Structures are given as C-alpha cells and as structure tokens.
Structure 1
Amino acid sequence: MLMSNLYVGVTGLQTSQNALNTTAHNLANIGTEGYTRQQVSQGDRHYDTISMDPAVAHKQIGLGSAYVNCKQVRSVFLDASYRKESGRSEFYNVSAKALEHVEDQLQEMNGAEFKENLNNLWVAVQELSKDPTSAVNQSAFINRCAEFTESAKAVYKGFTDYQNNLDSKVKKLVDEINDTADAIHELNLKITAIETGGVEHANDLRDTRNKLLDRLGELGNIEYEEDKFGTVNVSFEGTQLVLTDNVHHLACDTDESSEGFITVYWEYAGKQYRDEDGNKKVDISGARVYDLTQTVSTVANTDVGELRSTLLARGDHHATWHDITEDSTGEYYNQNISQSVIMNLEAEFDQMYNNIVTAVNRAIEEAASNPATLARLKNPASKDSPSNYDIFVQMDDTDCLKYDIGSETSGFEMMPAGTVKTGFSVTNTKVNELLLQTPTLNTFITLDGEEDAAAAAALKSVFTDEIYTLNPSVTTKVDMLDYYNAMISQVANTGNVNKTLAENQEMTVATISAAREQIVGVSSDEELEYMIEFQNAYNASSRFINVVSEMLEHIVTTLGR
C-alpha cells in the first residue's frame, strides 16, 4: 500500500514539472507573434481494483495524477471571422490606395497640374475668339494645344504604368499564395506524424500553420476544415487549394488579347494544346480563378482578398473612349469597366480628350476660313483636304512607340464584336507639325476678307456646350470644363467611400483581433499565478514522498528489530 502511495507522489512530481515547463514556455513566448497560449490538462491515472469477497464494493487504489493534454486555447469562430474580415479589409485598402494614386496623377505631374493645361487651352480659345486674325492669338492657341496633348499623354501614361505595376504585383501575390499553400501542406504532414500516436500535440507547428492561414485569408476568400488526423484542408475562392495529399497551385497566363496582362487560373484545370505553329498553349477558359464581372458585394463575399482587389483595380486592358461609347446599352461598360478603378478613369479621361480633339478639328474643318475651303472656292478643282489643316492628327506607329503607351488599337480586342476601331485617343494623337511650324496657316480670314467669327465661336462651344456625360451610368450633361471637374469629384468621392470602408474594416479587424487575443494571448500575471500553483503542487508532492519514505523507513526499522 505504501509503495503505491510512493508512486502517487512521483506522478505528482512529474505532472507538476510538466505543467511548470508549459507555463515557462508560455512566458518565454509572451511577445512572439502568432503564438497561442497553451493550457495543461491533468487527470487521474488508472485505478488498481482489489477484489474483496464478500464485500459491498471492491476496493480501488489510485496510482496518482497524469499529464493528460497540453492544448491550444483558441476560438474557431473568432479565427474564421478574423480571416474573413481581414481579407475584406485588404480588399478595400487596395482600392483606396489605387484611387489615391490616380487622384495624385490627375492633380500633379512634374509640378504642373493637368487642369492648369486644360484651363490654359480654354483661355487661349477665349483670346482667339476676341481677335481670330491675331497671329499672337493663333500661335498661343497652337502652343496650348501642344501642351494639352503632351500633358494628357503624361497623365494617361501614369495610368498605364500603374496598371503595369499592379500586374507585377499580381504575379507576386500568386507566388505567395502558392508558397503559403505548400507550407500549410508541409505542416499538415509534420503535425499528423507527431500527433498520430495520440501522445503529443504539435502546438508550435499549429501556431505556424494558423499564422499562414491568417495571411492566406488576407490574400483571398478561404474556407478550411481540420479533420480528425489534424490535417487542415483549405479552399480558395470556392476551389480546393490544400488537400490531404496534394496542393492545387494557381498559375499566371499572359494573353495577347488582354495586352499582356496576367490572368490567374487553376493550373490543374488548364488544358494544354498546340497552336497552328506547334507552340504549346494553355486553354484557361474553364479554369479562371475569378469572374471579375461579378458585382462587388459583401453578401456574395466578392469583396474579399488582396488578389481580387488588385485584379479589379488593374483591369484587363488599357481602356479608351471606345469602352464607353461603342456599346449603346452600357452593359459592357457596367460589367467590364466601371468596377476597375484604373480602366474606368482611363476610359473617361480618353473620352474627354477625344471629345475635345474631335470637336476642335470639326470646328476647323467646317470653318469658312479654312485654307482648304478657300482654295476650293477660288479653284473648284482644288484637291486640298481640310485634314491638312486640322489641329490634331493621328500619329504613325513610330510616334506611338516613342510614348510607349500603346497604339491606335490599344485595348480594342476586349470590345464587343463589330466595334469600329477608329478615332482620336490620347495614345494615337499629336498636334499637326505643319501648324507647329507655321501657327498662322489657319488665318481665320474668310474669302471676303472678314474675320471668321463663326469659327472662333465654334471653338468656344467645344468647351461651353453642355452635351457631355462621364459614362453610361451618368445622365447629367455637362460642358467640357465641368466634365473634368466631375471626373475629379467622382474620383474623390469614390476614394472617400473606399477609404471610409477601409477604415471601418480596420476597426472591425482590430476588434476581432483584440477579442481573439483575449483568448490566445499570454497574460504574464495569469501565468505567474499558474507557476506558483504548480510550484506548490510540486512541493506538496515532494513532501508527500518524504512522509511515505519516513513511514517505510519506520516500518522497516521496526520490523528489523
């Protein structure tokens, strides 16, 4: 009996020592990011049963305490909420930053605002209308047109450069998702190997895995479940990413139809084939990770994840005015353009430029003082064309390459079938070099020797007629100066909305994180209390062993006599 009591004391020493080790481990990791507090569970060891016949009940002798379990203290609900809301926070952060960038691009470029150049052009038109025949006014007007064109190109190039930067970011995010999935799969194997025997718990490895799941939740919309073997299976955007024995990787496809932008697809679902030239290709039509035409919605969880937001902000091509005007229903614009921060602004900006350039050229071509018109009046057989005296002309391929922002057909592949791919865009227009050399070619003097006031008035109407709308979703018509102001206001308002949403999401994430930290975090005061408790238990077990030892010594000594 006494020998079994001695065993009880020994097990007490062992369990108390293990509990002290766990407490010390908690205190040592109090500042470790991602660490989860570990909690000791103790219980009784098996009892020895002594049969006593006849007896009302058999006698049982306890064998001491047991170190049953060392578990992590976590909330499954808070973990899931944190990962969902942190992904939503990243989504709106990316959108807010994109809008901040384009707003800066519109307001400032090399120290001069684009709006200043637009206003300068308007002032030059007003001065020209006062005295159309003035060589000074004519020269100033042509120079302002050139400044306006160059500044428009700089703004548009800023948009396209930012798109390219976002495209590079997409590749990095895809690589990170794949690396994270591989790491989770590797941890699954290690955790399963350690915990299969039912003796140990790989808590530190679980902490690492939970940290990876937190990051994966920021990158996209994930769902996950842990099976009875300790393996976590993860779905990304509704498709299996991490499985028990495999990982489905994401891949990047660069398609010429999207101007070289990356399209993210599931590598395992892409179908390989060879084109007419024998080159290997991948059909990703049924393997795309995202459908970016879906409406951004919290209910549908289409506003979750840094990768989705980056793809939406970037868009799938460099947009032009064709993306707005050449679909009368507005369906294409609403599905493919409006939800992209950059493409929407590119299309509206290019539409403004197209409207100004086209209207200015039309006013010059229809002017009674147009040199080509005067030549035909003097000589009906004259073949002189009004286009020879247009202010704005289209650039050739060499000029387009010089600006490195696309060509005349940039982005048109994404337009509906039957789209006419003509007209002036920022990327394909320049000021007529003949007029730059001789600004007074358009003299604004009619055949009768009078100044062409009608032509000057037509140029003014380009900026004052309220005939323009930003996009198919806006019905209010404005003049050209108000058009630009409306575009800036739209960017500012949308940016403010996204910034507010981002800030609200950050508060939500912070609240959930604080609630989660109350559970998983290590409290030094609490752990010190546990340490004192386990030290006292250790001391008690030690004294118990001493008492049993003295009793045994007394019995042996007594019997020895």
Structure 2
Amino acid sequence: MSLFNIGVRALQTNQVVLQTTGHNIANVNTPGYSRQTVALQNLPGQFTGSGFIGQGVEVQAIVRNQSDMLTRQATAAAAVSAADSARAQSLQRLQDVFSGGDSGLGAAINDMMNALADVASAPTDLTARTVVLTRMDETAARMRSASDQLDQIAAGVRSDLDTGVKAVNDLASQIARLNEQIVRAQGSGKAPNDLLDQRDQAIRNLNQYVQTTQVPADDGSLGVFVGNQPLVLGNTAATLSVDNAPDFSGSGQLKLFFTPPGGTPQAIDEQVIGGGSLAGQLKFYNGDLEEGSNLLGRMALSLTQTLNAQNRLGLTLDSKTGGDLFQPIALKDAIAGAGNPSGAGIGLAVADPAKLKASAYTVTFTAAAVGTVVRQSDGVALSFDGTTGNTLQDILRGEGLTTTVTGTPQAGDRFLIQPLREAAGKMQALVHTPSQLAAANPVNAAMGTGNTGSLQLASLQALSNPPGASVPFTLTFTGPNTYTRSDDPAVPPALPTTYSYVSGQAITYDSATPPTGWSLTLSGTPKQGDTVTVGDALAAGDYFQRDAGNAKAMLALRDAPMFDGAPLSDGFASAMAQVGTRTQSAQFAAQMSGTIAANLESDRTAISGVNLDEEAAKLIQYQQAYQASAKMIQVAQTVFDSLLQTMG
C-alpha cells in the first residue's frame, strides 16, 4: 500500500505542477501577471528496522515569482515617466501656437512694423496708410487667435485632468475591494497569488495618473498614499478631484484635492504629488501655459501701449491730434488672498511697457507698508519697507507697473498680480480710416537762413502733443560746441547761459507741468551765429501733411528695446525661443525617464514574466513525471494483485 500511496501523491503533485505551468502559459499576455512555480517537499520517512523509508512528495506552496523592491522601483519610475510624457505632449501643443513662418504671429508683427516704412516715405499716400491699418488689424486678429488657441489647450488639459481623477477614483475603489478579498483569502494561510497580481497591476495603473507610496498592513492589505494623504486604507477608498486653487479666487490656477470618506476636500501641494500624468498636466497648466499666456499678453500690451502712445504724439492728415490705434487694454486688479485680514485692494496699470516681465507676482504684507513681492517666473523675491524709494509702488514700477493701493493692508494680507494673463485676447484695432494715422510731428525744425556751418537736422521727435509752451524755440550757437536757448534770456548785466553741443546727441526740451516738449538731434558742426528754430507744425500751413516725422518714430520702435532688452521686432522670436527651450527640455526629460522606466520594467519582468520556451520545457518534464507517477500506480496495482493471487 505504501508504494500505491506514494504513486497517488506523486500523481496529484505532478498534476498540480502541470496545472500551474498551464496557468503560466495561459497568462503569458495578461498585464501584471507574475509567473508561478510550485514548491515541493518530501514527506518525512517512516521508521523501520532497516531505517527510514520515504513516503513520497507533496505540494508545499505555489510561489509567486516577483521582487517587491523591483516592483516598487518600476512603479515609481513609470509614474515619473508618465508625468514627463504628459507635460511634453502638452508643451508640444503650446509650441505649435508659437510657431514661425508666414502665418505666424511674428510675421504679422514684422509686416505691420515694416509697412510703416512706406508711410514714412510717402505720408500722403492713402494706399500705404491703408496697408498699415490692415496689418494692424491682422496682428490684433492673430493675437486673439493665439489667445483662443491657448484657451483651447487649457480646456483640453482640464478635460484630461477630470478624466484622470475619475480613473484614479475607480482604481482606488478597485484596490480597496481587492484588499478585502486578499484579507479574506489569506485566512487560509496561503497567498492568493492572482489577487495579489491584480492589486499590483491596479497600483501600477494608478501610478500612471498619480504617484503613490504603498504601506503593507499585517492583515495583508495595502495602504496607498498620495503625498501624505491616505487614498486607500484597508477596504476604504478616498477620492481625488481637480478644482480652482482656493488661495486666490479667480486666478485660473488648478489644484488637486483629496476628500476622505465623509470628509471635506483638502488641497494637496503640487510639489508632493511627484509623478503621474496628473502631476505633469498640473505643472503644464499652472506653469508652462501660464508663461505662454504671459508672453502673448506682454506682446499685446507692449504693442498696444507703445503704438498708441506714439500715435498720440502725431498729427493726422486733417490736422487732428492722433488717437489710439488699438483698444486700450485695462489691467485686472490684483486678486486678494482668501482670508485677508483687511479689505485693501491693489489696482494696476502699465507704467513702462519696456520693463514688463512675462510673469505673475505674489505680494505678501508683514505690516501696512512692509512686505515682499515674489516674481513667479523665476522666484526672485523683492522686499519693500515703505521708505522713500523702496515702497510697493517703487518695486512694481521697476517691473513696468503702476500700482494704486486702496485701503490699508495688514500683516498677513496676500495678493496675486496677473497683469498679462488675459491681455492678448483683448487686443483690438480701432483705427480703420487712413487719414487718422498720425504720421506727422506736431513740431518742425528750421535751420536759420543765414547759417554758415554744416549743421543738419538728424531727427526731431515730439514728447507731447500739442507742443504747448515748448514752441517756438530757438537755439543760437556761440561756437562749434556751445549754444544758448531762447527760453533762457539774459537779464543784463548777466550773460546768457551757455550749453554744450555734441553732434548726434539729443537736445531735449521737457517741461513737467504741463508735460510738453520735444527731442532734437543735430549733426554737423555749427558756426557762431547759426540758429535752429523749433516751431508748431500747424503754423506752417499744410506742411504737416507732407511731414512723416511721427511715422519714422513709429518705425523706429521696431528696433527699440522692449522685451527683456530684445527689440520689438524680435519679441515673438524671443517668446518662441523660451517656449521651444521648455519643450526641448521636457522632451529630453520624457525620453530619459521613459528609458529608466523601461529598463526597470524589463528587470521586473525578467523575474515575474512568463518565458514560453522555459514553460514548454517544464511542461514536457512534468508530463513525463506525471506519466511515471501513473506507471508507479500501475506497478503497485500489479504487485498488489499478484500478492492477492498468491495468498489465495
């Protein structure tokens, strides 16, 4: 009977081994499946007078082949890769908005500025004026179109975030259910391998959306945490959601929120989320997309402010003071932080377009006039203490902004300044009549008829319109390097005040009250007695219609430093470079993290994956063992039959 029992045990054991091998082969393509092997052990021998006689084999356990360390590493690396990939894909869409070529925004801006050259050459040519106004309208339209594209990208990312958190919540519920099943199954004392595989795969899928850490419990369940928040504990799952940031209502920033069962939503710091597509998309939405909006907004504001200001310094064909070429863009007031102790507010306007930074700002008060301004684009902190030259207004004036504080701020007050975010979508051309383009200067300059030197007019630019008390105005040269001014007459017996003259250096008349003046640049060498008179252009008949001084000044803006020192004509190229650099960096990071994730996943599957060739070889081996076990039973049966016949 012992031989018969050994054969039966061997047959049953090899059947289990064959069944497990078949299970491996059947799940070769099942995501997350870990190869299983059967651990065998021999039964204790039975003691006889001749020694211990073996009693065969039995199944000790069905082992799940996997490495906890490699599984955790591969899961974490996949989360980082998913974040980098999601951000890189979104940045590629942003880069498409900042594309070059004839249809790009940069071409429209350059065409608009270059068209002013024809007006400067022929100020009475209505066709040339019409081309300029058409180019301005086209530039404004492309600016609005680019802003709309950014809005569409934002809407797409927001939709992806909503889809992602729904998937996270479904996976969290699935993990909680698997935890419950695993706890029940482990009551038998054996590991439920297939349930453990399903849970690990669900965690890997979860980390594609948001990076998690896992903490095993004594009962076999697994706690899953996002940052320091428990997403899954035992058989209970919390939920995630995406909503507007609570700190500054209306800022357009998004946050990931954690809601425990029966609790209230709590914002999760973006920095602790780590990896996952949600982290990458939030980083893009709150950072990269914000920068793109600021770059566009700065161009729109600078073009609007600069060209409007210059056109107001000129005269139209019908002798009127020039008006705004584009609809003035009003800046949105600073957003007060939630729970600010005071009711203070901060109003904003553009002080100097050339100083604008493509950034938002956070203002924090530690006292009524003391605090810090943080430039969000680079993290630079600028402190103010309320002393002369170091007030909040002084700090923001250095950033190109005029600030009006209403009420009295208190310690703890916080404000978010987003001066550029929506500016591009508001750019609108106003002037559509060619005669309203103010190409002429309101002032003119005439050389004295008796001049004997080589003095020539290089440029004349109005600083105000109308010129007011700044004209008529005469410069009388007392030598090659000195002159006197008609607004500074000598009072006998005093001598006239003498000023220095340098060829090519601007001579400026600027009266603060009222703000009137002009800037005159001369070249050549004067002789004693030479004069230059600056007068009112309208006093010279219809001369102003043929003058193109203001058109030349507008054309000169093309090369004026505007965007972080770059000329206005290169502003879009600079924005393209910034977005392109971000995109390339993100793509490199995605490639790098993707390679690391793939290598770690390969290491994990080297242990856990199913090799069909290896399983086929084992199948033959275990089949032969099964057949041998059956033969053993047959032999035992024959021996037993012979014994019965002999005894009979």
Same fold at TM > 0.5: yes
Deviation of the 1:221 alpha carbon: 1.9
**Which 4+ runs in 1 deviate beyond 6 A?**
413-417
| Greater Cα shift, 202-211 or 240-249 | 202-211
Q: Which has the higher strand share?
A: 2
2:168 corresponding residue in structure 1: 177
Deviation of the 1:47 alpha carbon: 5.2
What does 1:221-232 correspond to in 2, within 5 Å?
A: 221-232=211-222
Asked whether the 8 Å contact 2:316–2:439 carries over to 1, the reply is: yes
Q: Could you tell me which of 76, 80, 86 is aligned with 1:84?
A: 76
1:23 corresponding residue in structure 2: 21
The answer to whether residue 279 in structure 2 is matched with residue 308 in structure 1 is yes
2:347 corresponding residue in structure 1: 420
Deviation of the 1:303 alpha carbon: 5.2
Q: Could you tell me which of 579, 604, 621 is aligned with 1:516?
A: 604
1:139 corresponding residue in structure 2: 130
Asked whether the 8 Å contact 2:238–2:261 carries over to 1, the reply is: no
Cα distance in 2, alignment partners of residues 352 and 252 from structure 1: 31
Deviation of the 1:195 alpha carbon: 2.5
Decide whether aligned partners of structure 1 residues 468 and 30 sit closer, same or farther in structure 2, where only a CA change above 3 A counts: closer
Unaligned runs of 5+ in 1: 53-57, 273-283, 295-300, 316-339, 376-385, 396-406, 470-476
1:190 corresponding residue in structure 2: 181
| Greater Cα shift, 503-512 or 439-448 | 439-448
What does 1:366-405 correspond to in 2, within 5 Å?
A: 366-367=313-314, 369=315, 389-394=323-328
The answer to whether residue 596 in structure 2 is matched with residue 531 in structure 1 is no
| Greater Cα shift, 442-451 or 181-190 | 442-451
Cα distance in 2, alignment partners of residues 19 and 271 from structure 1: 49
Asked whether the 8 Å contact 2:120–2:549 carries over to 1, the reply is: no
Cα distance in 2, alignment partners of residues 359 and 228 from structure 1: 69
Q: Which amino acid aligns with 2:87?
A: S
Cα distance in 1, alignment partners of residues 262 and 632 from structure 2: 70
Asked whether the 8 Å contact 1:22–1:38 carries over to 2, the reply is: yes
Q: Which amino acid aligns with 1:314?
A: Y
Asked whether the 8 Å contact 2:216–2:222 carries over to 1, the reply is: yes
Cα distance in 1, alignment partners of residues 308 and 335 from structure 2: 23
Q: Could you tell me which of 226, 229, 239 is aligned with 1:249?
A: 239
Cα distance in 2, alignment partners of residues 73 and 314 from structure 1: 41
2:229 corresponding residue in structure 1: 239
Deviations 1:39-62 (A, max 9, x none): 111112355567x8xxxxx96554
Deviation of the 1:183 alpha carbon: 0.4
Cα distance in 2, alignment partners of residues 20 and 262 from structure 1: 54
Deviations 1:329-356 (A, max 9, x none): xxxxxxxxxxx11110110111012111
Normalised TM-score (structure 2): 0.67
Asked which structure has the greater RCO (Cα within 8 Å, sep 6+), the reply is: 1
Decide whether aligned partners of structure 1 residues 510 and 533 sit closer, same or farther in structure 2, where only a CA change above 3 A counts: same
Asked whether the 8 Å contact 1:356–1:462 carries over to 2, the reply is: no
| Secondary structure of the corresponding residue to residue 257 of structure 1 | coil
1:288 corresponding residue in structure 2: 267
Decide whether aligned partners of structure 1 residues 271 and 371 sit closer, same or farther in structure 2, where only a CA change above 3 A counts: farther
Asked whether the 8 Å contact 1:224–1:235 carries over to 2, the reply is: yes
Deviation of the 1:426 alpha carbon: 2.1
Asked whether the 8 Å contact 1:88–1:505 carries over to 2, the reply is: yes
Asked whether the 8 Å contact 2:179–2:222 carries over to 1, the reply is: yes
Q: Which amino acid aligns with 2:238?
A: H
2:295 corresponding residue in structure 1: 348
Percentage of pairs with the same residue = 21
Deviations 1:482-536 (A, max 9, x none): 2211111122222112112211222222222222222111112211221122122
Deviation of the 1:312 alpha carbon: 1.4
2:141 corresponding residue in structure 1: 150
Cα distance in 1, alignment partners of residues 2 and 630 from structure 2: 15
| Secondary structure of the corresponding residue to residue 28 of structure 2 | coil
Cα distance in 1, alignment partners of residues 562 and 39 from structure 2: 76
The answer to whether residue 578 in structure 2 is matched with residue 490 in structure 1 is yes
Q: How many residues align?
A: 471
| Secondary structure of the corresponding residue to residue 640 of structure 2 | helix
Cα distance in 2, alignment partners of residues 548 and 353 from structure 1: 96
| Secondary structure of the corresponding residue to residue 196 of structure 1 | helix
Deviation of the 1:141 alpha carbon: 1.4
Deviations 1:374-433 (A, max 9, x none): 66xxxxxxxxxx6x72111248xxxxxxxxxxx96399568998543445922333222x
Q: Could you tell me which of 451, 456, 459 is aligned with 2:554?
A: 459
Decide whether aligned partners of structure 1 residues 136 and 144 sit closer, same or farther in structure 2, where only a CA change above 3 A counts: same
Q: Which has the higher helix share?
A: 1
Decide whether aligned partners of structure 1 residues 414 and 498 sit closer, same or farther in structure 2, where only a CA change above 3 A counts: farther
1:114 corresponding residue in structure 2: 105
1:208 corresponding residue in structure 2: 198
1:403 corresponding residue in structure 2: none
| Greater Cα shift, 80-89 or 543-552 | 543-552
Deviation of the 1:254 alpha carbon: 4.5
2:456 corresponding residue in structure 1: none
Deviation of the 1:270 alpha carbon: 9.6
Decide whether aligned partners of structure 1 residues 174 and 103 sit closer, same or farther in structure 2, where only a CA change above 3 A counts: same
| Secondary structure of the corresponding residue to residue 563 of structure 2 | coil
Decide whether aligned partners of structure 1 residues 38 and 241 sit closer, same or farther in structure 2, where only a CA change above 3 A counts: same
Decide whether aligned partners of structure 1 residues 347 and 455 sit closer, same or farther in structure 2, where only a CA change above 3 A counts: same
Deviations 1:197-253 (A, max 9, x none): 124x43222222222111112212211133343312211223211111411211343
2:38 corresponding residue in structure 1: 40
Larger Rg: 2
Asked whether the 8 Å contact 2:304–2:328 carries over to 1, the reply is: no
Asked whether the 8 Å contact 1:258–1:413 carries over to 2, the reply is: no
| Greater Cα shift, 129-138 or 87-96 | 129-138
Q: Which amino acid aligns with 2:42?
A: D
Cα distance in 2, alignment partners of residues 426 and 103 from structure 1: 17
Decide whether aligned partners of structure 1 residues 270 and 552 sit closer, same or farther in structure 2, where only a CA change above 3 A counts: closer
Normalised TM-score (structure 1): 0.77
Q: Which amino acid aligns with 1:178?
A: N
Decide whether aligned partners of structure 1 residues 511 and 389 sit closer, same or farther in structure 2, where only a CA change above 3 A counts: same
Asked whether the 8 Å contact 2:105–2:572 carries over to 1, the reply is: no
1:556 corresponding residue in structure 2: 644
Decide whether aligned partners of structure 1 residues 141 and 156 sit closer, same or farther in structure 2, where only a CA change above 3 A counts: same
| Secondary structure of the corresponding residue to residue 288 of structure 1 | strand
Cα distance in 1, alignment partners of residues 553 and 587 from structure 2: 42
2:312 corresponding residue in structure 1: 365
